[in-house]
Amino acid sequence: MRTLIFSFAASLTLLFSSCMKHASDYEPAIGEAVNTWTFKDGSKTYFGDFVSNPVLGKTIQSNNTYTLSMAGIQKGSGQLLTMAISLADLDFNVKSYQSGINGSDHATSFSYSGSAGSRDAIYSSSNVDPGAVMTYNISHYNAVKNIVTITFSGQVYDASGNLMNISKGKMTAHVDRK
């Protein structure tokens, strides 16, 4: 009887351990994997990869900020995401930024457009056209690997000028400093 119970327990252990994912099997989600981004507009999810590593300009701008700029392509559709954030420092110490702010001289912006060659924005938030306020939060920065994760959400203008809500935005990328 003991042998039967032991055999049954050993079989269950083997069965469950073979079904478990191991830490080495983990694949990060879009927005968590390096050089990927994602966001939602209501129930629709957009996601893609960055065309190249985002660039953090090491030269201070006239408004005492450093510009982090990035461009990514939507998987499948080829639609283009561009974001720029006027950072207060080069080490991501200041954690929160906004676009769509009236009177700001910062180049912070969000644009999602039809394609790489198109200038027509499907969604946009920019200090040049204030009112659609988007918030960007530095949620993690690995200084050794120079990888940053930024979450974002808020309002954007759609192509007709209506305010729309963007949620669950997230990007993770290796940053080149130039």
Sort strands 176-177 and 55-56 into parallel, antiparallel or unpaired. parallel
Residue-level pLDDT at 158: 92
C-alpha distance from residue 106 to each of 9, 55, 65, 88 (Å): 64, 17, 8, 10
pLDDT at 157 over 90: yes
Q: Where are the beta strands (DSSP E) in 88-162?
A: 96-99, 109-113, 121-126, 134-142, 147-158
71 and 50 Cβ atoms separated by less than 8 Å: yes
- Non-local (6+) Cβ contacts of 29 within 8 A are 38
Q: pLDDT tens across 100-149, in order?
A: 999 999 989 999 997 655 567 899 999 999 999 999 999 999 999 999 99
* Whole-structure pTM value: 0.81
